[in-house]
Amino acid sequence: MKRTLAILGVLAVSMGAFGLLSGGGAGVAATRAATITDITFREGVCGDAGAHCKPIKVGKDPLSYGNRLIFTIPLYHGTTVIGKEEGECVNLQRTSGSNYCTYNVTLQGGTVSVQGTLRYTADPGTIPITGGIDAFAGAYGYIHEHKGFPATYTLHIVTP
C-alpha cells in the first residue's frame, strides 16, 4: 500500500512539473498593470431633479442615533450630470459626528460600491471602495470627501 501511494505521489509531482514546464495546465498568469482612475465630482442634494430621498426617523432630532436616509442623488461635473449615488446612510452616536454609509456610485461604463463611516461635520472623510462591476470590475481604492459645501468628492479607483 505504501509503495502504491509513493508511486502515485511521484507521478502527480511529475505531471505537475510537466504542466508548468510545457506551458500548459497550472502555471502563473502574466501580471497586468493596474489601472488608476481619479474622478472628482460634486454631489447633488435631495431637492435636485432626479434625486429621490427617504428619511427614516427613529427620533425627533435629525441627528438621532439610528436615523437613516435612503437615497438616489445625481453627481455633477460642473453642471453636467455624470452619474448617481444610490444607497443609504445611518446616523451613528452623535459624539462621533458620523454616518455609516453603504452605496453604489454609478458612472458611465461602470459602478463601484463604497462602504464605511463618513463624518457629517465639517471634517472631510475617506471610505473604501469595496468592489465594482463592468468597467470597474474588481475595483478597489477609496472615495475622499473634500472640505466645503456643496460636497465634492474624489473617487480613486484601482482596477486590476
9 lies in a domain? no
* pLDDT attached to residue 30: 65
Please tell me whether the overall predicted TM-score, pTM, comes out greater than 0.85 for this model.
no
**What type of residue is 92?**
L
* pLDDT attached to residue 26: 56
17 lies in a domain? no
* pLDDT attached to residue 28: 64
* pLDDT attached to residue 120: 79
Dihedral sign, Cα of residue 109, residue 37, residue 83, residue 86: positive
Calculate what percentage of the chain has a pLDDT beyond 90. Answer: 65
Domain holding 107: CATH number? 2.40.480.10
* pLDDT attached to residue 125: 87
Which DSSP category does 47 fall into?
T
Phi, psi of 92 (to 5 degrees): -95, -170
65 lies in a domain? yes
The list of the chain residues with pLDDT below 70 reads 1-30, 122
**What type of residue is 142?**
Y
* pLDDT attached to residue 139: 97
135 lies in a domain? yes
Query: Tens digits of per-residue pLDDT, 17-58?
Result: 334 334 444 556 667 789 999 999 999 999 999 999 999 999
103 lies in a domain? yes
Give me the number of domains the chain comprises: 1
* pLDDT attached to residue 62: 85
Helix or strand run (H / E) with residue 17: helix 2-22
Domain of residue 144, residue span: 34-159
27 lies in a domain? no
